Structure 1
Amino acid sequence: MWRKDRCDLPHNGPAFAAAAVVCVGVVLSYIPQAMRIRLSRSSVGLSPWFLFLGATSSACAMFNVIVLQWPIVRCCATLSGLSCLEHMMGILQVSLQWLMFTIIFVLFLMYYVVDNSPLCRARRARRPQGAAHETDRLNPPAEADDGQESSASESDLEEIHSHFNQSYGAVSPDVDIRPHETHAERDHTTYSNIPRAMRRILEVYYLPGEQEEITGKAGTVQEWHLGVTLAWITAGFWVFCAVLTMALLAMHAHHRYIRHWARFLGITGTVLAVLQYLPQIVHTARARLVRSLSIPTMMLQVPGMVLFVYALASREGPDWTSLLAYIAAGTLQAILLVLCLCWRVRQARLHIDDYGRPL
């Protein structure tokens, strides 16, 4: 039996193999979510509170395990490299969990789209009623003082359209313009009799272009500012925990105080993990859309959490305070996964994509 005053740590092959699989799985499971944000170039749909609580709870869990396994870290000076790595796998897997979740938070800030331009609001106003209903939640109406500006922009677009119809008789508001067509293809198939200079005006002010592609992927300025504020709070919380943890360990504080700090981190991480998925569940339930959430990521992580908890429990040092946060997070993530699957079925029935845009 392993004792804190000795470094003759027992070898546990199955536990080491499980921890190695978990470490690889943690990284792979977050790749679909990161790629979804990167390829769609939008992170709208992820709740800032969900990311904040997840980043802070995973940080608490990481420092909890570091404190509880610190005697093993000190033993690495007398162990071989492979043996040290084997007994450090608990710290490695919770650190990877924290790192990957933090990366998703960073991607959220990098790819959050805000578009409140009058032109985009006018385009949304001209959309079919069904499509507008799905995007209203993502693009709230402008404030009362913007009403005249939006109406004026829409009126201008109608005047432009009327002018082209009267002059060239080539443009119809119901014309079927395929999104995958290039501007050059549209020149020949839709309005080939319009002079080139006029075509450019029409492309900018009437036809769907790059700006139209973000419709449905745009969020609010308020949510963006909230995300930035919570990111700074997360960074400050991480620095505080890191400094205090390292100070207690470096000063060889009384064992009782270190255990109290570890228990505080574990309980705090559990509370934050329980609260973590509640904002995201509410956020997704109100939107009735999957949006930027990755279903493959959740399908990998929900069953993988069982193996994660087993691998962590088999390490020397971690106790129930280390495990409870991940058990709570895995349970609530399963609820979020079921909700997203239900919305995906609904989207297929309504023929809309994950952002509420007509297919």
Structure 2
Amino acid sequence: MSDVCEQHHDLWGTLLTLGLIGGLFASYVPQHFKIINKSSSEGFSPWFLLLGATSSAAGCLNMWTMQWNVVRCCRYISTGSCVESMGGIMQVSLQWLLFNIIQILYIMYYPPHLKFKTVAVDDTPVKTNAKTSHWRLSVVLAWAVALHMVFCTFVTFGLLLSTNVNLPTSPAQDPRIAGWATFLGLTSAALAAIQYCPQLWHTFHLKLVGALSIPMMVIQSPGAALMVLSIAMRPGTDWTSWIMFAVSGIMQAILLFMCVAWKIRQRRLHIDDFGHPLPPSSAELGQSTQSIPRPRSADEEEQGEGGEDGRPHLSDEEIVRAMLGENTPLLKGNKRKGSGFLRVFRR
């Protein structure tokens, strides 16, 4: 089989593949880190994650099907040549893995205060054991992602392993496998085309960046063009193998511009990515301190409302409230439960 499975060396293709693999890590790690660091996945649409995970799974399995001969040739060529020839498969497989890590982190770090419904008892919000519709939907769609991957993997490798063809004949020449590969490619492209629609809608109405990572989108949007070029250069691939990445790149660029616009809006409103009021800066605190009267001393307490300089004096608690803002709660437990998040929705 050595004459059939020739060792092809493509320096440009190999360098492009290595660059894209490094770019995938560099783009997805900020998103993973932000969810873990903020301990919140708020801002993601569960439908976006469903469509993205199923689309990447279909694209990954399409690549395995179209390049199955490359996989089979690894038994007859060196390890280095095998790794080089499987660069396209490694790209799409890694992209599928890194995206699904987001899906897992989304479930793990789903905001606890959004999981269960609250009811008002004597004007006091009380958390119940009833799950919110959004949390139930998120769990159901996560299970749908897992079942889709199991089913498509079973069918793909079931067809590939049951087809007894000799090299260099491609399994894709079998009508069943060719039809399945086309189905995977078209499904991947269709899901990718609508993948960002629910996320664009969700982010537009939320008017917040949330847990979305802008650095990830900055890297991935132009990187989609390189991904398309890299896959198109691989032997045995066609437009069904790269169309998903082309569509995703365009839609992701739109989401990026929207997030940048919300980021500017958040800075103007002085709120963070989740709608919580930002703490005052040191410069603002300094200005506030200059205009806030000092607390009364023991001698001044006896003199009445004012001190020797005639300025009114405040208690320590009043000073803190004046420095942080009239509506800022003093208790740490209320730090991330302010009304800023709700005020954004009312606008």
Q: Same fold (TM over 0.5)?
A: yes
Post-superposition Cα deviations, 1:279-318, rounded to whole Å, max 9, x if no partner, equal 0000000000001100001001111111111111111111
SS in 2 for 1:20: helix
Residue from 225, 232, 245 that aligns with 2:136: 225
Correspondence list, 1:20-169, <5 A: 20-115=18-113, 146-147=119-120, 149=121, 151-152=123-124
Residue from 229, 238, 256 that aligns with 1:310: 229
Q: Which residue of 2 aligns with 1:345?
A: 264
Inter-CA distance 152–21: structure 2 relative to 1 (3 Å threshold): closer
Q: Which residue of 1 aligns with 2:160?
A: 249
Post-superposition Cα deviations, 1:54-86, rounded to whole Å, max 9, x if no partner, equal 000000000000000001111111111111111
Query: d(CA) in 1 for partners of 2:7 and 2:261?
Result: 48
Inter-CA distance 101–153: structure 2 relative to 1 (3 Å threshold): closer
Q: Aligned-pair RMSD on alpha carbons? A: 1.9
- TM-score, structure 1 length as denominator? 0.71
Correspondence list, 1:165-176, <5 A: none
Post-superposition Cα deviations, 1:145-181, rounded to whole Å, max 9, x if no partner, equal x33x161469xxxxxxxxxxxxxxxxxxxxxxxxxxx
Query: d(CA) in 1 for partners of 2:204 and 2:122?
Result: 29
Post-superposition Cα deviations, 1:255-288, rounded to whole Å, max 9, x if no partner, equal 2221111110000000001111000000000000
Q: Which residue of 2 aligns with 1:282?
A: 201
SS in 1 for 2:274: coil
Deviation at 1:10, TM superposition (A): 2.8
Query: d(CA) in 1 for partners of 2:271 and 2:73?
Result: 57
- TM-score, structure 2 length as denominator? 0.73
- Partners of 1:19 and 1:312 within 8 A in 2: no
One-letter code of the match for 1:276? Q
Identify the structure with bigger relative contact order (alpha carbons < 8 Å, sequence gap 6+). Answer: 1
* 2:239 is the alignment partner of 1:320: yes
Query: d(CA) in 2 for partners of 1:246 and 1:236?
Result: 16
Aligned residue pairs total 264
- Could you list the runs of 5+ residues in structure 2 that have no partner in the other structure? 165-172, 279-347
One-letter code of the match for 1:17? L
Structure with greater helix percent: 1
Q: Which residue of 1 aligns with 2:322?
A: none
Query: d(CA) in 2 for partners of 1:89 and 1:150?
Result: 63
Query: d(CA) in 1 for partners of 2:46 and 2:199?
Result: 9
- Could you list the runs of 5+ residues in structure 1 that have no partner in the other structure? 118-138, 155-219
Deviation at 1:6, TM superposition (A): 2.7
Query: d(CA) in 2 for partners of 1:150 and 1:90?
Result: 61
Q: Which residue of 1 aligns with 2:325?
A: none
Query: d(CA) in 2 for partners of 1:88 and 1:76?
Result: 9
Q: Which residue of 2 aligns with 1:267?
A: 186
Inter-CA distance 33–150: structure 2 relative to 1 (3 Å threshold): farther
Residue from 145, 156, 159 that aligns with 1:234: 145
